[in-house]
A and B are shown apart, each in its own frame.
Chain A
Amino acid sequence: MQNIPLEAANFIDLNYMNVLYLFIVGFIGGLVSGFIGSGGAFVLTPAMMSLGVPGLVAVASNMCHKFPKALVGAIKRAKYGQVDVKLGIIFGIFAEAGVFYGAHIQEKIKAAFGDAGSNLYVSVAFVVVLAIVGGLVLRDAVKTYRSGNADAEEQVSALAKRVQSVNIPGTMVYFKSLRARVSLLFIIPLGFATGMLAATIAVGGFIGVPSMIYVLGAPSLMGSATELVVAFVMGLGGSFKYALHGLVDIRLAGIILAGSLFGIQLGAIGTTYVKPFMIKLVMGIIMVIVLFSRALMVPVYLSQLGLIQTLNDTSVTILKSTSFSVMAFALLTGAFIVLRAMWQGHKAERETSEHKIMETA
């Protein structure tokens, strides 16, 4: 953060087109976050940077929009009984530690290898984590869909059963979402990894939600809703850290928040209309598409570091714009699936109630 005063002085002038663009991206990001608990933020930082916002200001303003959005989403989903506040806060505290450690690693890498090294680290983290976790989540969602048991109550994974069966005296805490006591010693590394990922790729939920579902044994709806509490805790601490350095552009955070609060309410409502496997499906699809987006950027950074043959400017520009387009496509695909699932759920509910009225008449 050595260029902080310079970055803070470079707050951009906003015109109507910029405001509209950020509002729409915020809305779509909020819609996806309200539904799967995270995932909307990863496109906002590049979106702001594409308008000329300096990197650190974009990250700080994104963070400052994230925690109030997560708060509103968590309150909304708590009304539907989907939030485990205790798990969210405990998970969030360890995630916060992970955020600070992750940011520290980022600074070290940047100091040692420069911007290209830091970007390469972020892209490789994206590709590796999303390939493993995204692949597993998507596979599970498709398996559930094909099994014809999409309506049945979710089964707790064998790993989660094993985790819940371990009793370590003095560390056991009961969580309502798990309907079981789990040792804090399992939650610490999961929370920490979530925070580290959040500091690296801006979306900790890509580890947080799957770990709550597959490692701890939370149902998809509760895992994704509880992630909003984690995002609130992480976002609040992170925003304060950036605000201490004067990096938050409240105008940018406010505009994105204006759109994302519409989106997050809608996404949260959407969770009440869909079958639980839809959460996994949307998350898995977004993760796998984003994986390709970041993989496209790996040759650019390898070339900048001199590890492969230098790419010409045209190739770099094409790869960068394709990567951003694929990322935006991931978010739009997620939003489309959420809206379509909501529409179908609404239609099915309307048909059921019409059928009941006919029967009583």
Chain B
Amino acid sequence: MAQQYGHLKKKPVVKMTVYGGLSAVLYAAVFLNQATITALFTRGSWYAALPIATAFAISFVHGGFTNYFWSVLGIEATKKSLRIRPEEKRSYDRERPQPQPRLRARL
């Protein structure tokens, strides 16, 4: 989708390959040792941290791979979406009247 400005931008092929390789290694480690991993990860108690940590690791490694995968295919967000929009107050936001200090002279 970003082909029209693709010549300006280098496609992250190397990053995709690195993350893809790491992702494959991670998945292979889980599935080639599934009996051991299943037994260990289902012990409960402190072992509960293991599936959570693995899920985080997959999200980082495989998430990185999928991100670069779509970029390499040229499927990226529109350029306008990356513009930073300044925050503006909505028109109906009323300023609450603040009490003003006044000097009162008594005659």
Residues of chain A at the chain B interface (Cβ within 8 Å)? 8, 11, 64-65, 67-69, 71-72, 75-76, 79-81, 156, 161, 164-165, 167, 176, 179-180, 236, 239-240, 243-251, 253-254, 257-258, 261-262, 264-266, 269, 272-273, 345-346, 349-350, 353-354
Question: Which residue in B30, B67, B90 is a CB contact (below 8 Å) of A180?
Answer: B90
CA distance A176 to B76 in the complex (A): 25
Contact in complex: A272, B77 (CB < 8 Å) = yes
Q: Is B42 an interface residue (CB 8 A)?
A: yes
**A243-B52, A257-B62 are contacts. A250–B41 as well, Cβ < 8 Å?**
yes
**Number of residue pairs A-B, CB distance < 8 angstroms:** 135
- A167-B96, A254-B58 known; A243+B77 contact, CB < 8 A: no
Complex contacts, A240 vs chain B, CB 8 Å: 48, 52
B55 to chain A, nearest CB (A): 5
CA distance A67 to B93 in the complex (A): 35
With A80-B81, A81-B84, A257-B62 as known contacts, state yes or no: A250 contacts B92, CB within 8 Å: no
Is the Cβ of A269 less than 8 Å from the Cβ of B85? no
Whole-angstrom distance between the Cβ of A74 and the nearest chain B Cβ: 11
Within 8 A of A (CB), among B77-99: 77-78, 80-82, 84-85, 87-90, 92-94, 96
Q: Which among B47, B55, B69 is the interface contact of A253 at CB below 8 angstroms? A: B55
* Residue of B47, B69, B90, B96 most packed against chain A (CB within 10 A): B90
Closest beta carbon of chain A to B34's beta carbon, Å: 6
* Chain B neighbourhood of A75, CB < 8 A: 63
B 10-58 contacts with A by CB, 8 A: 27, 30-31, 34, 37-38, 41-45, 47-52, 54-56, 58
B42 engages A69 (CB within 8 Å): no
A92 CB → nearest B CB, Å: 16
User: Knowing A8-B42, A156-B92 touch, does A250 contact B75 (C-beta < 8 A)?
Assistant: no
Q: Which residues of chain A are within 8 angstroms of B89 by Cβ–Cβ distance?
A: 179
Q: Are A11 and B27 in contact (CB under 8 A)?
A: no
B101 CB → nearest A CB, Å = 21
Given contacts A179-B93, A350-B4, contact A236 B52 (CB under 8 A): yes
Chain A proximity of B54: nearest CB distance (Å): 5
Please give the distance in Å from A104's CB to the nearest CB on chain B: 20
Residues B56 and A353 in contact, CB atoms below 8 Å apart: no
Q: Smallest Cβ distance from B33 to chain A, in angstroms?
A: 11
Which residues in B have their C-beta under 8 angstroms from that of A244?
44-45, 48
Known contacts being A71-B59, A261-B59, A273-B78, is A250 close to B90, with CB within 8 Å?
Answer: no
Closest chain A CB from B66 CB (angstroms): 5
Q: Which residues of B contact A272 (CB under 8 A)?
A: 77-78, 80-81
Query: With the chains together, A8 CA to B48 CA distance in Å?
Result: 13
Q: Is the CB of B69 within 8 A of A262?
A: yes
